[in-house]
Amino acid sequence: MFDIIDGVPLHPLFLHVPLVLIPLTALLTLAFLVPRWRWWLRWPMAVLAVVAAAATYATVQSGEKLRERIGASGEIGAAIDVHETWGKRLLIAAVVLAVLAVIAALVATRTAGTAATVAALLLAVSGVVAAWITYETGDRGSRAVWCPTGVSSGEVASLEECLRT
């Protein structure tokens, strides 16, 4: 289910959903810090976070299938291992973000109560952390894919240098 469609690996297709939705959700979590906006943002933010978590799950599953299919080893295999580790961290962060977003949506009121404020603060921290992990995961994945191309075209001095930077 998470492998290929019409000969095209699903991982590069799926990964764009969390890549867009998690940072967007993170921005909404920051806006959620403003008490006047909480009431209007609560359900769109929660739904977006849940969809982002589901998309992250699909992306991780398709990445594992792609890894099995290509069977990379050596430096590229090690780079993919690091990317996979970050991907699993991202899945955890996305699920935490989704759970906190739903809790925050449930406790949000039209006024700034203590529970809503605490939920908003936890949610904002979770959103920023998830956005950062999204960046780290994507950076490591793109390096694993594009560094060999850079070396073969002469744009990058060495694979080791490209993967390390």
Query: Token pair 């994945």 is at which residue?
Result: 141
pTM: 0.91
Q: What is the residue-level pLDDT of the chain in tens, covering all 165 positions? A: 788 888 889 999 999 999 999 999 999 999 999 999 999 999 999 999 999 999 999 999 999 999 988 887 888 888 999 999 999 999 999 999 999 999 999 988 766 688 889 999 999 999 999 999 999 999 999 998 888 888 888 887 888 888 876
Closest to 147 in 3D by CA, of 132, 134, 131, 165: 165
Q: Quick check: 28 and 76 in contact, CB under 8 A?
A: no
Question: What integer pLDDT is reported at residue 131 of this predicted model?
Answer: 98
Q: Which of 50, 57, 117 minimizes the C-alpha distance to 92?
A: 57
pLDDT at res. 86: 97
Residue 151: both structure tokens together: 């070396």
d(CA 3, CA 52): 19
Assess contact for 21 and 65: CB atoms under 8 A: no
Provide the pLDDT for residue 109.
Answer: 74
The whole-number pLDDT of residue 152 equals 80
d(CA 139, CA 133): 10
Tokens describing residue 128: 């920023």
φ, ψ dihedrals at 84, nearest 5°:
-65, -40
Q: What is the pLDDT of residue 70?
A: 85
Tokens at 132, concatenated: 């950062």
Type of residue at 151: V
User: In angstroms, rounded to a whole number, what is the distance separating the alpha carbons of residues 127 and 117?
Assistant: 15
Residue 102 and residue 48 in contact, taking contact as beta carbons nearer than 8 Å:
no
DSSP letter at 3?
Answer: S
Instruction: Give the pLDDT of residue 113.
Output: 81
The length of the chain is: 165
CB atoms within 10 A of CB 159: 18
